C-alpha cells in the first residue's frame, strides 16, 4: 500500500473524499504510477497531481482507473460529480500547508464571474472590430 501525503487543507470535503477513494482504488491495483500511466491515457505526473489533490482529475481519468482496477464506475463517477461542484475550478491546489498558489486566478463562483466578464469583453471587442472593418472602404483596383 502506498504511503500517501496528507491532502491539502483547502480541498473541499467532497473533493477530499473522491481523492481518498481514488487513492484506495489505485492501491488496490498494486500498480505504480508509471504502470498506471502506461495503462491509461494519463501521464505519471498527471496521476501524481490527481492523487495528491493538487488538480481535479478529469472524469475520463476516473473512468480509466475504474477500468484498470475492475471497479464499479457508477459510484466513483457519482463522487466525481459531487466533487466537481466544490472543486476550486481553475485554481491549482498547492500540496502541503501553504494552501492555494498565490498567483492563481480567483476560485469557484468568483472565477466563473471573472471568466464570464472576460468573454463578454472579448465579444464586445470582436463586434467593434467587425464594425470598423465594415466601415472601411473596399480596396481600389
Burial 59-69 (b: 16+ CB within 10 A, else e): eebbbbbbebb
Judge whether residue 128 has pLDDT over 50.
yes
Taken in order 110, 45, 63, 74, the sign of the CA dihedral is negative
Whether residue 99 has pLDDT greater than 50: no
Asked if residue 62 has pLDDT above 90, the reply is yes
* Full residue range of the structural domain in which residue 78 is found: 13-86
- CATH number, domain containing residue 67: 1.10.260.40
Give the model confidence (pLDDT) of 5-39 as tens digits: 999 888 999 999 999 999 999 999 999 999 999 99
Per-residue pLDDT, 18? 95
pTM of the model: 0.64
Name the phi and psi angles at 38, rounded to 5. -65, -30
What per-residue confidence (pLDDT) applies to 97? 41
Asked if 23 and 69 sit in the same domain, the reply is yes
What pLDDT was estimated at residue 140?
53
Extract the runs of DSSP E, i.e. beta strands, from 1-141: none
With a pLDDT cut of 90, the percent of the chain lying above it is 53
Measured between alpha carbons, how far is 105 from 73 in angstroms, rounded to an integer?
32
Would 141 be classed as within a structural domain? Answer: yes
Residue 19 domain-assigned (yes or no): yes
pLDDT of residue 117: 81
Same domain, 30 and 80: yes
Same domain, 116 and 79: no
Which single residue is written with the C-alpha cell 504510477?
A: 33
Asked whether residue 26 falls in the same domain as residue 54, the answer is yes
Q: Is 59 helix (H, G, I), strand (E, B) or coil?
A: helix
Within a domain: 116: yes
**97 in a structural domain:** no
Do 131 and 74 belong together in one domain?
no
Q: Are residues 30 and 70 in the same domain?
A: yes
Identify whether residues 21 and 68 lie together within a single domain. yes
The grid coordinates listed for 115 are: 471568466
Residue 17 and residue 80 in one domain: yes
34 and 75 assigned to the same domain: yes
- Helix then strand then coil, % of the chain, to nearest 5: 60, 0, 40
Per residue in 37-56, pLDDT tens?
999 999 999 999 999 999 99
Amino acid at each position: 500500500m502506498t504511503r500517501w501525503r496528507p491532502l491539502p487543507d483547502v480541498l473541499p470535503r467532497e473533493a477530499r473524499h473522491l481523492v481518498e477513494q481514488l487513492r484506495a482504488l489505485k492501491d488496490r491495483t498494486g500498480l505504480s504510477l508509471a504502470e498506471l500511466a502506461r495503462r491509461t491515457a494519463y501521464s505519471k505526473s498527471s496521476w501524481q497531481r490527481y492523487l495528491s489533490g493538487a488538480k481535479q482529475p478529469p472524469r475520463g481519468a476516473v473512468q480509466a482507473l475504474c477500468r484498470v482496477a475492475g471497479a464499479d464506475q457508477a459510484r466513483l463517477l457519482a463522487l466525481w460529480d459531487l466533487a466537481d461542484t466544490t472543486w476550486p475550478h481553475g485554481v491549482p491546489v498547492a500540496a502541503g500547508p501553504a494552501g492555494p498558489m498565490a498567483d492563481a486566478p480567483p476560485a469557484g463562483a468568483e472565477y466563473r464571474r471573472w471568466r464570464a466578464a472576460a468573454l463578454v469583453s472579448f465579444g464586445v471587442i470582436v463586434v467593434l472590430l467587425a464594425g470598423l472593418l465594415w466601415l472601411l472602404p473596399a480596396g481600389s483596383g
